[in-house]
């Protein structure tokens, strides 16, 4: 009996910690989403059922923030995958400078989001380096662009930060996967006369297919969870035009103290991310036709 219980005894501490820090807050957030939740001492939180969810689906600003989150995801995930894989292929070949370039490309990943967000805020400021380079140095623009004062230009700046910071992560994951591609398969393809593109398409891609799935799912989840860069670079402005779901949820909960509605927004975002992850798992099937999930 003790032998059977031993694995569970080892798992128990980690599971209890996971339950206390993750599962309990999730359950609390779901509960709060069904209430007009009051944080004032002595105030009674009123049960309002699905009213917060109905409010969200009829809230134009929620749809705007969801669209901004989707735009960020669409314009950051593919570049991170493509550029990261391209750099990984270049760094796969051993050379004296390989470790240096690995560190340089990975350095943004381990740099604080707060630091790089403030850095990009100053780079894209009205008198910042981007305007100086494009207007004064390269003469590609007739005048300076107020990047952070409009919805679309601000999203360009935010997406640029997301790609710059995330490429190093995908590069390292792909680089690790490429090390596991059987050399014999590549040599066999070369003997059959396959070029670089053919070897990449028929040997490399199938070999790293599960890794490609993992990177895509993680980047999509991260894309919809963008928060710090938007909060620090634009604050959701101007007029909430660059709000994403998390900044809108944050403002509802901690600025207006509407924790019930903020919790409902969090639950909706979680469901969207979960559904997208399941869809990706179904779309990314291995070469034998079996689900990678």
d(CA 59, CA 249): 12
**pLDDT (tens digit, 9 = 90+) per residue, 27-86?**
999 999 999 998 887 788 899 999 999 999 999 999 999 999 999 999 999 999 999 999
d(CA 288, CA 206): 11
Phi (first) and psi of residue 139, to 5 degrees:
55, 40
Give the end-to-end CA distance of the chain in Å, rounded to a whole number. 33
- Point out which residues pair with 125 in neighbouring strands: none
- Point out which residues pair with 80 in neighbouring strands: none
In this predicted structure, what is the pLDDT of residue 189?
77
State whether residue 142 is helix, strand or coil: coil
State whether residue 194 is helix, strand or coil: coil
pLDDT confidence band for 160 (50 / 70 / 90):
very high
- Whole-model pTM: value is 0.89
Phi (first) and psi of residue 204, to 5 degrees:
-70, -50
CA torsion, ordered 41, 44, 49, 53, to nearest 10 deg? -30
Listed in sequence order, the residues at least 6 apart from 149 whose beta carbon sits closer than 8 Å to its beta carbon are 238
Name the residue with tokens 């596991």.
180
**pLDDT (tens digit, 9 = 90+) per residue, 221-268?**
999 999 999 999 999 988 899 999 999 999 999 999 999 999 999 999
Q: Which parts of 51-150 fold into alpha helices (H)?
A: 51-57, 60-92, 98-110, 113-123, 129-131
d(CA 127, CA 145): 9
Q: Is the pLDDT of residue 293 over 50?
A: no
Q: Are 233 and 166 in contact (CB under 8 A)?
A: no
Quickly count helices (H) and strands (E) in the chain: 15, 2
């Amino acid at each position: 009996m003790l032998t059977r219980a031993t694995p569970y005894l080892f798992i128990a501490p980690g599971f209890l910690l996971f339950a206390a820090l993750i599962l309990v807050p999730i359950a609390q957030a779901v509960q709060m989403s069904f209430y007009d939740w009051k944080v004032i001492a002595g105030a009674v939180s009123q049960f309002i059922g699905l009213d917060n969810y109905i409010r969200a689906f009829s809230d134009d600003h929620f749809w705007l923030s969801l669209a901004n989150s989707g735009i960020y995801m669409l314009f950051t995930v593919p570049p991170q995958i493509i550029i990261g894989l391209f750099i990984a292929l270049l760094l796969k070949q051993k050379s004296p400078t390989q470790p240096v370039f690995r560190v340089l490309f990975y350095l943004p990943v381990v740099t604080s989001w707060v630091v790089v967000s403030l850095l990009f805020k100053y780079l894209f400021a009205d008198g910042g380096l981007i305007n100086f380079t494009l207007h004064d140095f390269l003469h590609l623009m007739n005048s300076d662009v107020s990047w952070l004062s409009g919805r679309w230009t601000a999203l360009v700046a935010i997406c640029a930060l997301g790609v710059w910071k995330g490429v190093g992560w995908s590069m390292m994951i792909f680089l690790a996967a490429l090390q596991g591609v059987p050399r014999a398969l590549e040599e066999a393809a070369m003997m059959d006369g396959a070029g670089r593109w053919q070897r990449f398409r028929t040997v490399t891609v199938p070999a790293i297919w599960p890794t490609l799935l993992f990177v895509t799912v993680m980047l999509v989840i991260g894309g919809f969870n963008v928060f710090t860069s938007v909060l620090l670079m634009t604050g959701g402005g101007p007029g909430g035009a660059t709000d994403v779901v998390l900044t809108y949820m944050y403002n509802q909960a901690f600025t207006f103290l509407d924790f019930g509605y903020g919790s409902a927004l969090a639950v909706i975002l979680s469901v969207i991310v979960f559904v997208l992850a399941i869809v990706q798992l179904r779309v990314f099937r291995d070469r034998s036709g079996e689900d990678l999930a």
